[in-house]
């Protein structure tokens, strides 16, 4: 990588090589266990111009044709998207068209439809697009590009709102994506992005949120620069508690040369104070991550040595970055319990730990559950009442390995 995919700057600093990793969502079937797995270098690089944290794109272009992440497996995300749909109903006054790019299983658009909003979803994964269609949502099964944007506009008219949640961080060619947004968005339309944010990433040691599909962790500065190429200005930044610290950033076209909104200027200053443009910040981050690796491995091996049984809770993509980087295999974790039926019956990429339904936790009663889906830790600990009452305890890997409950 020689240029930042957001600001096109060239002052890139590779600060944390994580080793070779298979694609984090490439869960294996039993039949695939006999085959070798493709693995690619995973390296965290910071753009010292805009504070984006970027990873080189290594995946084949058709990777998202078939996909395994669905937010509907989580109560937190269902609540989140219902509230977001209510916000969109207010923004649009209940009229106009909402286009959601990377609509996944249609959770947001279903909530929009329930509020009477017209909507179109765009989703590259055919299997996931079918899930969305099954809920009655209109979905275009395609990668979002200028051609698709023009087609949707010709058929449905310009979009009054374009939303994209937890998708921009998957996009390699951000400038082509933004050209497509520019083509589809009405002149007075609003573009709303939800993405994990860089300050939280650094502060909470969230190295495991880096994987080959998560190509970027954005700062507000990086989005301001990216949108600026397309005559768009940020008008609002809202902090969201999901995915370990995200933000909802709204932007509109602005032709005048007015100065930044005060709120945006405050964010830029906050990012400067947090050291997002300094090498030393990332050196310290890398040092802390190496500490997490050593401490977590020592903790798990120590528990096993004293006869404790451990399993993982959640089989999220980031869990695979963590497991593969730290070197945690089935000798330490008996299984990974996950509510997502698309993952059940498979094996985690790289470490090949079996993924099972959550019911297995109570059947098997391991002494500890390592919470790999730590962004849903509160929801998981809350759900696992019987496990807790039976003496089960939880291990959180991030921001520092610790035993809770
Ligand atoms: Zn940049």
Question: Residue 371 Cα, ligand 1 centroid: separation in angstroms?
Answer: 32
pLDDT of residue 269: 95
Task: Tally the C-alpha atoms within 13 A of residue 171's C-alpha that lie toward its C-beta.
Answer: 26
Question: Residue 154 Cα, ligand 1 centroid: separation in angstroms?
Answer: 33
Question: Residue 160 Cα, ligand 1 centroid: separation in angstroms?
Answer: 28
Q: Which residue has the tokens 């083509």?
A: 183
Q: Mean pLDDT for the chain? A: 92
Question: Residue 195 Cα, ligand 1 centroid: separation in angstroms?
Answer: 16
Instruction: List alpha helices for 216-278, DSSP H.
Output: 220-228, 262-273
Query: Model pTM greater than 0.75?
Result: yes
Question: Residue 272 Cα, ligand 1 centroid: separation in angstroms?
Answer: 14
Helix (H) or strand (E) holding 283: helix 279-305
In three-state form (DSSP H/G/I as H, E/B as E, the rest C), the secondary structure along 105-154 is: CCHHHHHHHHCCCEEEEECCCHHHHHHHHHCCCCEECCCCCHHHHHHHHH
Q: Which residue has the tokens 């404790």?
A: 308
- Measured CA to CA, the distance from residue 242 to residue 194 in angstroms comes to 10
Task: Tally the C-alpha atoms within 13 A of residue 140's C-alpha that lie toward its C-beta.
Answer: 20
- Measured CA to CA, the distance from residue 175 to residue 309 in angstroms comes to 48
Question: Residue 273 Cα, ligand 1 centroid: separation in angstroms?
Answer: 17
Question: Residue 225 Cα, ligand 1 centroid: separation in angstroms?
Answer: 8
Helix (H) or strand (E) holding 319: helix 317-326
389 near 362, Cβ under 8 Å?
A: no
Question: Residue 274 Cα, ligand 1 centroid: separation in angstroms?
Answer: 16
Question: Residue 313 Cα, ligand 1 centroid: separation in angstroms?
Answer: 35
85 near 112, Cβ under 8 Å?
A: yes
Q: E strands within 157-309?
A: 159-165, 185-196, 216-217, 232-240, 246-253
380 near 315, Cβ under 8 Å?
A: no
- Measured CA to CA, the distance from residue 37 to residue 42 in angstroms comes to 15
Question: Residue 168 Cα, ligand 1 centroid: separation in angstroms?
Answer: 14
pLDDT of residue 140: 96
Question: Residue 350 Cα, ligand 1 centroid: separation in angstroms?
Answer: 31
Question: Residue 335 Cα, ligand 1 centroid: separation in angstroms?
Answer: 39
Mean pLDDT by 10 residues, the chain (405 residues): 95 96 92 90 96 84 62 75 93 92 91 94 92 92 96 97 94 96 97 95 95 93 96 93 85 76 89 98 98 98 98 95 97 95 95 97 97 91 93 96 90
pLDDT of residue 42: 94
DSSP 37-48: ---EEEEEEEET
399 preceded by a cis bond (ω within 30 of 0): yes
> What percentage of the chain carries pLDDT values higher than 90?
78
Question: Residue 173 Cα, ligand 1 centroid: separation in angstroms?
Answer: 13
Task: Determine what percent of the chain falls in helix, strand and coil, rounding each to the nearest 5.
Answer: 40, 25, 35
pLDDT of residue 111: 93
Question: Residue 300 Cα, ligand 1 centroid: separation in angstroms?
Answer: 38
Question: Residue 326 Cα, ligand 1 centroid: separation in angstroms?
Answer: 29
Per-residue pLDDT tens for 391-403? Answer: 999 999 999 999 9
Question: Residue 3 Cα, ligand 1 centroid: separation in angstroms?
Answer: 8
**Token reading at 48:** 């010292």
Nearest Cα to Cα of residue 75 among 355, 312, 300, 375: 375
Nearest Cα to Cα of residue 348 among 321, 385, 369: 321
Question: Residue 174 Cα, ligand 1 centroid: separation in angstroms?
Answer: 12
Non-local (6+) Cβ contacts of 38 within 8 A are: 22, 23
Question: Residue 395 Cα, ligand 1 centroid: separation in angstroms?
Answer: 35
Which one-letter DSSP state was computed for residue 337? Answer: E
Q: 381-393: buried (b, 16+ CB within 10 Å) or exposed (e) per residue?
A: bebbeebeeeebb
Non-local (6+) Cβ contacts of 230 within 8 A are: 178, 179, 181, 182
- Measured CA to CA, the distance from residue 325 to residue 322 in angstroms comes to 5
Question: Residue 54 Cα, ligand 1 centroid: separation in angstroms?
Answer: 9
Rg for the chain (alpha carbons), in Å?
21
């Amino acid at each position: 990588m020689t240029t930042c995919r957001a600001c096109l700057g060239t002052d890139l600093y590779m600060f944390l090589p994580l080793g070779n990793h298979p694609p984090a969502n490439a869960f294996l079937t039993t039949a695939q266990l006999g085959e070798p797995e493709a693995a690619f270098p995973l390296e965290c690089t910071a753009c010292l111009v805009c504070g984006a944290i970027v990873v080189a794109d290594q995946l084949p272009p058709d990777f998202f044709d078939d996909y395994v992440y669905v937010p509907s497996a989580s109560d937190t995300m269902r609540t989140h998207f219902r509230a977001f749909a209510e916000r969109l109903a207010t923004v649009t006054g209940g009229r106009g068209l909402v286009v959601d790019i990377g609509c996944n299983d249609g959770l947001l658009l279903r909530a929009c439809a329930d509020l009477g909003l017209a909507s179109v979803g765009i989703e590259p994964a055919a299997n996931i697009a079918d899930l969305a269609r099954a809920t009655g949502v209109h979905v275009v099964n395609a990668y979002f590009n200028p051609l698709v944007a023009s087609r949707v506009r010709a058929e449905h008219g310009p979009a009054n709102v374009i939303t994209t949640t937890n998708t921009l961080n998957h996009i390699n060619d951000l400038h082509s994506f933004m050209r497509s947004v520019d083509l589809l968005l009405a002149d007075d339309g609003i573009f709303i992005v939800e993405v994990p944010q860089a300050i939280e990433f650094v502060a909470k040691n969230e190295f495991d949120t880096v994987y080959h599909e998560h190509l970027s962790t954005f700062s507000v500065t990086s989005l301001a620069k990216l949108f600026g190429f397309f005559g768009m200005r940020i008008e609002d930044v809202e902090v969201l508690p999901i995915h370990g610290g995200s933000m909802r950033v709204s932007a509109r076209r602005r032709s005048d040369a007015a100065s930044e909104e005060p709120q945006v200027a405050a964010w830029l200053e906050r990012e400067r104070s947090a050291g997002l443009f300094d090498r030393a910040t990332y050196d310290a981050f890398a040092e802390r991550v190496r500490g997490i690796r050593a401490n977590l491995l020592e903790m798990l091996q120590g528990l096993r040595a004293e006869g404790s049984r451990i399993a993982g809770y959640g089989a999220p993509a980031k869990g695979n970055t963590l497991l593969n980087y730290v070197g945690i295999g089935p000798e330490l974790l008996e299984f990974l319990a996950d509510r997502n039926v698309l993952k059940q019956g498979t094996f985690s990429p790289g470490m090949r730990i079996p993924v099972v339904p959550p019911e297995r936790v109570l059947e098997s009663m391991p002494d500890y559950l390592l919470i790999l889906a730590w962004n849903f830790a509160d929801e998981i600990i809350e759900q696992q009442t019987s496990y807790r009452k039976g003496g089960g305890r939880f291990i959180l890997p991030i921001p520092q390995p610790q035993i809770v409950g």
